[in-house]
Amino acid sequence: MKLEDLAKELEKEIKRDISQVRFAATRALNETAFKARTALIVKYEKAFTVRSKTLPKKVEVKKATKQDMVAQVGFPFDWMEINVKGGTKRPSKKKLSTPIGHGEESVARTASGKILKSFRPANLLKYADGHKKKKRGEVATSHAFKMRTKKGNEVIARRKKGDRKEMEWLYVQKPAAKVPKRWDFPGIVGETVNKYLNAEFEKAMRWAKSHPKK
């Protein structure tokens, strides 16, 4: 074989090897990213009261390509950030209203888990703020109102339909609320990468070598 032909053959081999490596790396990144997505959904369902099964499935994967070998895993709602990092949640106005106890069941929510506008504290209290108190003996409709508990907590409550002696505790109002770090998004992704990426790359390389391009 001439030296020129040998050089051409070596060049073809190198190009094929590079192509196989790029293919294997891309496949490994994407397979690992989807495994991370699955792990995030599982951890989400353990960390939160899941009112909407579609919400955790909103975890997105942007696939890597041979031209851009970066796979991205993300979540489209920035209001989740405080649950990822933890911290102190402060209200935009005077006080923060947090659903409490069994009252959470009485607070209607959308499919994404957000509280319906009509069940937000300000809207619930519109009736109480805009109407005078009923006189004794009159039958009152169950509307939300503010009250202070024996411990000094300001709460929003309403009387139960059918049993007016029972109270539904809807919200407690505080100047701020501590939010624990409940969904370690970066940690879960990093753990998945450490566990699976190398194995996925080796598997993809084996496949590429057993299916060479002609």
Per-residue 3-state assignment (H helix, E strand, C coil) for 59-105? CEEECCCCCCCCCEEECCCHHHHHHHHCEEECCCCCCEEEECHHHHH
| Alpha carbon distance 96, 213 (integer Å) | 62
**What local confidence, expressed as pLDDT, does residue 138 receive?**
43
CA distance between the termini of the chain: 21
Element (H, E) at 149: none
- CA separation for the pair 1, 204 (Å, rounded): 33
Instruction: Give me 98's structure tokens.
Output: 């947090």
pLDDT of residue 214: 61
**Domains of the chain, residue spans:** 3-84+181-210, 87-178
Distance CA(163)–CA(59), nearest Å, equals: 42
List the one residue out of 25, 52, 65, 72 whose CA is nearest residue 186. 72
| Residue 37, phi then psi, degrees to nearest 5 | -60, -45
Per-residue confidence (pLDDT) for residue 204, from 0 to 100: 95
Rounded to the nearest 10°, the torsion over CA 83, 86, 91, 94 is: 140
What count of other Cβ atoms lies within 10 Å of the Cβ of residue 56? Answer: 20
Q: Are 23 and 66 in contact (CB under 8 A)?
A: yes
- Residue 73 has φ and ψ, to the nearest 5°, of -120, 130
List, run by run, the mean pLDDT of 10-residue segments along the chain (214 residues).
63 78 95 96 86 84 94 90 83 67 54 69 69 50 74 77 71 78 93 96 92 74
122-131, long-range: CB < 8 A, 24+ apart:
124/156, 124/158, 124/170, 125/156
So what's the pLDDT on residue 14?
72
> What CA–CA distances, in Å, run from 170 to 115, 146, 157?
12, 10, 5
CA distance 72 to 141: 52
